Structures are given as structure tokens and as C-alpha cells.
Structure 1
């Protein structure tokens, strides 16, 4: 019922057809519902697994279910609809206890293939080769960047989500995609987001990161400030740690990082935003 309501109000405008087949027997609402139901309730994340389960157990609900090939094609046509759905759910499901002026930012890899000498050939328009320092891993794929609203005692709630190729720098993406919408906020981040000259001069947000060594700083000053800097770094890390827990939870619930079976750009977008939609459904009942 929720998917039908959202589809009528907004999603249909992102997957309109202007052909004689503009009203297929198996509707877009049914495609979305099958995908989300099997992911959320049954924890099936492969499209083949989803189609097989629906065919064997949900035939009374979806008597017009097409073949696997057609179902897969229909899903890829809904890439923009999934993107819009995630944005709608982020607005609709926002918890009341979110801190309005405190956010946390970080990124996680979405891997189509990994290995130092591997060269991916999937979704080359939006993917590239990158390195994940947290996992000490070279990979080919994308990065998912998230700004989360802080919540006391639990994982943050997604406020903003952006995708980039694996080669793009986290700080660059944050400046271009997120900073313009975070005026007046305090943002806790990792060391890679340290660019205080930019944040102090060009915007009204306050970014706090663990202390980053200053090149050329005298050893006397470094030793004198060490205790205070360590305490500050520990405090910042304690506040931003829940976003790492969120990424671990997200991957555990949806296997979003494993995109090795994706074979097209639209398929990679469906994989990413579809898993995010499943995660948000899970978050509501977390």
C-alpha cells in the first residue's frame, strides 16, 4: 500500500513510458513491491533469488509475474524511481530524536570487483578504481557518501546520500555535494575531511575531525600539545563512531557492498538504491 501511494504521488514521473506499452499487465508498483518485500522480509538480495521466490511462493499475489529476463529489465528501468523512493523515505521516516544541528559524515565502498591489478568493465560511466584504507583494499566500483543525523545511543539516520566513483576524494565530494545544504551545523568527520581554511572562509558549518599532524610543526609544540590533542581526537572519534556502525549494519542487512554480479550502470544504481530502501524499511523497525 505504501509503494502504491508513493508511486502515484511521485515515483511514476521518474519512470513514465511514452509508447504503446505504457500500461503493462505487471505494473511498476508490483515490480518495486516484489523486490522490496523479498529483500526486507525474506533477505533475498540477488535478482534471480527474488524472482524464484516470488514465482514459487507469491504467485497468488502476483499472477502476472513475467520471466526472469523481463523482470530484470523492468527493474533496471526503475533506477530513477528507486533513487526518488530513497529520498522520500528519508524524509518520511526521520525519527523525532535526531539532533537537528549535529551531523556525522563518512563514506563506504560499493565493490564490483577487487584486487590491485583488476580493471573493472562494469558501469564505467560511474565507477573507477580506488583504495579503501579502512579495509586495506584496492577495488573497482563506487563510493557511497552519507551525512547522518546524530541520535543518542544508536546509529545515525541518513540525512543526505551521494554516490561517486571510487577514485573521487571524499573531501571533494563533501564540499561539492553536501556543504551547501548544511549551513549552521556542526559536522563530525574523519581526518580526510580536514580543510579548515576552506570551512572557516567559505561556509557557515563547523567541521570537527581528529587532530591531523601539521607538516613542519616544531617538535616542542607537538609534545606540549599532545595530551590535549589526543583527548580532543578521542572525543571526536567517539561521536563519529556510530556512522561506522551504521555502515556495518547496512552491509549486514543488505549486502550492499557486494555488487560483483551487476552487469550494467542501471543495474548498479538499482543495486545501491534498492538496498538503501530495504535498509530504511528495516531501520523503521530497528
Structure 2
């Protein structure tokens, strides 16, 4: 059994998922077979998953199933075995993806600066770079994380987030790419159409020619810390050092909260560790299910 406060949270999540299913989620997991009405519904499976992560900090599918079996049998008597639960959960990868996108797009806080965006990415690790990655090969590959100074197999989670004063930024869009994809490449392909915007990124986004044209066409600018020019004489570097350091510090201060956003996401969901994932659909559930779990409180 769980206490009354958690029961109310469980019911609220379930009703919210049921409402979303009626609106659009049911079209992402339609069944065209005789078993189109299973005893344990898709709404119940999503509710168990989101509740166990958000409220109980159970991060693996095995932990979530065990918790449901021990404490939620009264509400979900048709839970079934772990293998069936895991297989059913993987079928809902697209539903979690749509739910996460809806939760983010429909609940922007009012204090967001709509003309100022922060950019960064973080690794989602399926295994160490010392090993050969064998999981979800169609969407993962080998990459390097400069922050952790390590090679790894997995994907990257890229976030474009609205700046908020003295608060962690709120994501406008989230993109998932193989680990080797460069952050600047993602910006060029996905976010280079944004107009009248000030972007704050790290040194990886430096490309003078591209962003000069970008400013002229879209009236948007990219602010990054100053990067030393290869081959520049020491005399010029010393002359400009004070102003460059002040500028770099100011930009870094503005964009630092995006790192706090990633830390918050990791703390709430343990999303960065995907070593237990065994399939592409399982990895998608791990990613979008945990993003949805992190943001589910926004609707309460």
C-alpha cells in the first residue's frame, strides 16, 4: 500500500494519461489484432511507469515492475509478468515521445524570455567506449564527451531552452541524435530557422561565416565565449585578453543554467545511464518516458 497523498498523485497521473489517450496518444499505438483490448491497458502501463519514476525514484523497468507488484496490485490486479510488462512498455515508445512533446509545448512558464535561448547537449550512455556497442545500432554510435573526457556508445540529448531569470531554463525543443553528431550540425539542420533570437552556446557553436549570414537573414545572433585564434601572435592576445575574458565570463554566466537543467533531469530520472537498455524501442522509452516523468508535475 502507498499513502493517501501518493494515491491521489497516482489517480491524477492516470486520469491525465487517459485524457491524452482520447485526444491523440491512442493513434500512436493502435492494435490491429484480436488482442486489441488487453486486460492491462496501455494507459495503466504508462501510469505505472511515470508514477514509479517521478514519485518513487525507481529507474529501471525491473525495479518499476517489482514496485508495482509489491505496492500497486490493488489498483492494477492484471499486472502480469515482468517479460510481458517489458514487451508491452516497448510498444509504447511513440506514445511516450508524443506525451513528452505535449507536456513541454503546452506548459511554458510565463517568465520565459521568448527571445533568448540557451543551447547544450549531454550524453546518454549505453556502454563505455572501451567496449563494442551492440544495442540500438540504428540510432546510436560512438562519441566523445569533452566534459567527462571519455568515449562512449549511445546518443546525445540536445536541448534548446528558453532563458528564465534566476531559474533553470525551460526546454523549447529536445532532439536526439547519435553520439558522434556535432552540436553545430544539429543547430544548422534544426534550429537555424529561428528568427529574432539571441542564442547562448559554448565554443562548439563558433562559426563566424555561418552566423554572420544567419544574423543578416534571421536577425538572430549566437553568443559564445571567445575562442583563441590558432596562429594569432601573443602580443594581440595579451592586448585583447581583458575584454575577451570579461565577455566570455558574461556569456558563460548566462548559459550556465542549461547545465543545471541537465543535472536536474539526471537527478529526477537517471536518464544518462542507459546501460540496462536492450533494444531501440527500449532506448526510446528510456529517453522519452523519463523526460515525460520529469515534466509530469507541470500539469498538477
After TM superposition, the score normalised by the length of structure 2 is 0.91
Shift of 1:105: 0.4
2:85 counterpart SS class: helix
How big is each residue's C-alpha offset from its partner over 1:72-101, in whole Å with a ceiling of 9 and x where there is no partner? 011110111111001100022211100110
CA contact (8 A) 1:131 1:137 kept: yes
Partner of 2:251: 236
Partner of 1:130: 143
Shift of 1:282: 4.7
- Tell me which stretches of 4 or more aligned residues in structure 1 moved more than 3 Å: 282-285
Mapped to 2, the partners of 1:172 and 1:92 lie a distance apart of 27
Alignment counterpart, residue 140 of structure 1, candidates 153, 178, 191: 153
Shift of 1:13: 1.2
- Alpha-carbon RMSD across the aligned residues, in angstroms, is 1.3
Shift of 1:54: 0.8
How big is each residue's C-alpha offset from its partner over 1:202-242, in whole Å with a ceiling of 9 and x where there is no partner? 44121100001122333332222111111000000000000
2:192 counterpart SS class: helix
Alignment counterpart, residue 13 of structure 1, candidates 27, 30, 42: 27
Mapped to 2, the partners of 1:224 and 1:103 lie a distance apart of 31
CA contact (8 A) 1:160 1:178 kept: no
Q: How does 1:62-77 map to 2 (within 5 A)?
A: 62-77=76-91
- Does residue 25 of structure 1 match 2:66? no
Shift of 1:53: 1.0
1:8 counterpart SS class: helix
Mapped to 2, the partners of 1:126 and 1:105 lie a distance apart of 22
Aligned length, in residue pairs: 283
After TM superposition, the score normalised by the length of structure 1 is 0.95
- Does residue 118 of structure 1 match 2:131? yes
- Structure 1 gaps of 5+ residues are none
Partner of 1:173: 186
Alignment counterpart, residue 228 of structure 2, candidates 194, 205, 213: 213
Mapped to 2, the partners of 1:157 and 1:24 lie a distance apart of 37
